[in-house]
C-alpha cells in the first residue's frame, strides 16, 4: 500500500510515522508540496528516508504572491531524483475573495513545468470544477505524463469526464463518510483508482474528526474494496500498482 498524498511536514512525530511504515504495511508515502519553501523541505525529508518521495508545487491560493523567481526555483527543485510529481496545483474558489484569473495562470504555468520536465501532476480542486475541467480539457497536450485528481469529491457527474481526459482518480477519507456518494466507484476503470490520506486532514471513518495519519489509508481502501466487492488484498495490489505507474519515479528495492 502507498499513501499517495500526505503532508508529513505537518507532523511533530514524522520519525515515528516513518519508522512504523513497514509494520503498518506501507511501502511508500508521497509528501506533498504547497509552497516553494515546503516543497524544498519535503525534498529534504525524502532525501533522508528511502521510502519517502516528494512532490513540489504551489497551492492555488498563493497565486497572487507567486513571482517568476518562485517558478524558477520550483522548476529547479522538481529536477530532484526524489520528486515524483508537480503538485498540489489547481484551483480553489473556497474563500470569499479569490482571483480566478491569477489561479488559472499559476495552474497552467505549473502544468507547463510538469510537461517540460516529463513529470505527472496532482490536482487540488475546490468549488472550481467547471473551470478546472475547462483548463485541463483545453490543455490536453500537457497531460501526457499523467494527472491525478487528488481527494476526488466532484461526484458521479464529473468522473467520466476526467477519466476521458486520462486522469487518475484519488480518494481520501471523505469517501468513507456516511453521506458520501459511492455509487460511481464501480464505474471507474480499475487501473485509474488510487488512495491517499491527505493526512493530517480528512480522517476516514471511524476516525472522522481526529488527526489523520498515513497508516489510515487502509481504512479508506477497505471501504472502497467493500463497495467494489473485492478483498482488501486484491484492492491493495491494484491501487499499489496504479500508484507506481502514476508516480513512475518511485523505485523500491
Which residues sit at the interface with Zn ion, rule CB under 5 A? 198
In whole angstroms, the minimum distance from the beta carbon of 68 to Zn ion comes to: 25
Which CB, 150 or 223, lies closer to Zn ion? 150
In whole angstroms, the minimum distance from the beta carbon of 78 to Zn ion comes to: 17
Q: Cβ(212)–Cβ(202) under 8 Å?
A: yes
In whole angstroms, the minimum distance from the beta carbon of 42 to Zn ion comes to: 12
In whole angstroms, the minimum distance from the beta carbon of 88 to Zn ion comes to: 5
In whole angstroms, the minimum distance from the beta carbon of 202 to Zn ion comes to: 9
Alpha-carbon span 62 to 200, nearest angstrom: 20
Strand order in the sheet with 168-171: 2-6, 28-31, 52-56, 83-92, 121-126, 147-149, 168-171, 193-195
* Radius of gyration in angstroms for the set of CA atoms belonging to the chain, rounded to a whole number: 17
Which CB, 90 or 146, lies closer to Zn ion? 90
Alpha-carbon span 31 to 18, nearest angstrom: 12
Which CB, 61 or 198, lies closer to Zn ion? 198
Q: What angle do CA 11, 16, 19 make, to 5 degrees?
A: 130
In whole angstroms, the minimum distance from the beta carbon of 193 to Zn ion comes to: 18
DSSP state of 185: G
In whole angstroms, the minimum distance from the beta carbon of 207 to Zn ion comes to: 17
Which CB, 38 or 198, lies closer to Zn ion? 198
Which CB, 92 or 236, lies closer to Zn ion? 92
Is the bond preceding 252 in cis, omega lying within 30 degrees of 0?
no
Which CB, 201 or 232, lies closer to Zn ion? 201
Q: What angle do CA 34, 45, 69 make, to 5 degrees?
A: 45
- For 98, the grid coordinates are 479569490
DSSP state of 23: T
Q: Which residue has the closest beta carbon to Zn ion?
A: 198
Alpha-carbon span 96 to 80, nearest angstrom: 36
Place of cell 505549473: 110
Which CB, 198 or 236, lies closer to Zn ion? 198
Give first-to-last CA distance, the chain, whole Å: 15
Amino acid at each position: 500500500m502507498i499513501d499517495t498524498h500526505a503532508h508529513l511536514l505537518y507532523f511533530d512525530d514524522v520519525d515515528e510515522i516513518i519508522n512504523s511504515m513497514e509494520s503498518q504495511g506501507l511501502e511508500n508515502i508521497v509528501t506533498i508540496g504547497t509552497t516553494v519553501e515546503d516543497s524544498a523541505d519535503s525534498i529534504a525529508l525524502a532525501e533522508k528516508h528511502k521510502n519517502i518521495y516528494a512532490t513540489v508545487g504551489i497551492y492555488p491560493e498563493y497565486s497572487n504572491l507567486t513571482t517568476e523567481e518562485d517558478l524558477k526555483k520550483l522548476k529547479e527543485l522538481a529536477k530532484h531524483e526524489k520528486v515524483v510529481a508537480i503538485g498540489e496545483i489547481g484551483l480553489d474558489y473556497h474563500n470569499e475573495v479569490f482571483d480566478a484569473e491569477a489561479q488559472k495562470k499559476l495552474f497552467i504555468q505549473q502544468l507547463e513545468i510538469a510537461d517540460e520536465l516529463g513529470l505527472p501532476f496532482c490536482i487540488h480542486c475546490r468549488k472550481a470544477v467547471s473551470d478546472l475541467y475547462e483548463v485541463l480539457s483545453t490543455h490536453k497536450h500537457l497531460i501526457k505524463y499523467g494527472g491525478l485528481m487528488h481527494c476526488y469529491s466532484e461526484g458521479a457527474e464529473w468522473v467520466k469526464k476526467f477519466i476521458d481526459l486520462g486522469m487518475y482518480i484519488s480518494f481520501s477519507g471523505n469517501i468513507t463518510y456516511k453521506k458520501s456518494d459511492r455509487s460511481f466507484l464501480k464505474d471507474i476503470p480499475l487501473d485509474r483508482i488510487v488512495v491517499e490520506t491527505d493526512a493530517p486532514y480528512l480522517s476516514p471513518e471511524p476516525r472522522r474528526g481526529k488527526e489523520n495519519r498515513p497508516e489510515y489509508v487502509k481504512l479508506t481502501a477497505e471501504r472502497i474494496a467493500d463497495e467494489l466487492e473485492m478483498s482488501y488484498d486484491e484492492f491493495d495490489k491494484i491501487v499499489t500498482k496504479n500508484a507506481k505507474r502514476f508516480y513512475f519515479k518511485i523505485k523500491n528495492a
